Amino acid sequence: MLLGKIGKISSYTETVDIVFRHANKAAEEEREKVKGKLRIDKSRGIELTRIRTVTSELNRIADRIIKNFPSFDNLNMFYQEMLRLRFDTEQIKKSLGALQWMKETVARIEREVGRKIKDEKSFRDINPFRRQFYARVDSIVKKVASDFILLEKVRKYLRDMPVLKERMFTVSIVGFPNVGKTTLLSKLTGSTPEISPIPFTTQRLNLGYYKKLIQFVDTPGTLHHFEEMNEVEKLAYLAMKYVSHVIVYIYDATEPYPWTQQEALDTEIKKLNKPLIYFLSKDDLLSAEKIAELKKNIKGLIIGQEELIQKVEELERNI
């Protein structure tokens, strides 16, 4: 999710400071241009420059946000659902609309005040028009203060989202914590995610790529009813549901988790109706007899990374 064009979304007070600072700088430059002119013409030129600069700077700030925010309705369902985990997307749209309202309202007031400044005959009465304009602008921007805050929170969340390549063949690696998902991802793709012996350590979606053709996603957590999952588990579920073409389910016969629980999770994953590959982790810790028994009981169980990647490539060609 590339939002580099947006950049930080400043608060209400920061925004007002920015636009007024730009206006003051523009006024100083205008002051040099109007040297030698009548005092009324100097005041008129300087104050018109101030209010026009305030308007153009607010337009620039608002347009940068509005135009570069993603169109939520056109996002992949994975990203739409991710956003709904944290935010009310209708409120996000309203906040973007509030910035458009701010732009239009300030532009209208600038036209009104500009006409008054142009018509004013006394230089002493020009500055008060600009001060009134500044006060009204401050009030308008203050009205959308909460919208700036919300949009900055959304921007940070979008910035930290995993950037999944939606058109690439995608494989989710699934299983209980600490059964070897992240280790397998690293060995298959050469990626170097942090690996820890402590269960429940993966707090995000780790990504890796095989020959720049296949995208692997290390999905943390276990599946319960969606309402009972924590946020990271929900991300894993959404990745499997909306992005993955194939799911690799890891069985761990050293049984850090009871075998019945691993089978129950297997049953839940089947409900996604995705092609499913079974992979046995930590086979080096098992006897040949135990492995033979597992292969007999789990249809299509794969042992070894080379056999796994061959199966994935076969599915990639045929799906």
CA–CA distance, 160 with 126 (Å, rounded to integer): 48
Report residue 231 as tokens: 């946020």
Q: What's the CA gap between 131 and 126, in Å, rounded?
A: 9
pTM of this prediction?
A: 0.80
- Residue-wise pLDDT for 239-278, tens only, equals 899 999 999 999 988 877 888 888 888 998 999 999 999 9
280: nearest Cα among 263, 295, 264, 270: 295
The interaxial angle of helices 305-318 and 181-189, nearest 10 deg, is 70
What digits encode the pLDDT tens for the residues 179-222?
888 889 988 888 765 444 434 444 567 889 998 899 999 887 66
C-alpha to C-alpha distance for 298 and 172, rounded to whole angstroms: 19
Q: Which domains does the chain have, with CATH numbers?
A: 12-159 (1.20.120.1190), 169-318 (3.40.50.300)
Do 168 and 214 meet the contact criterion of CB atoms below 8 Å apart?
yes
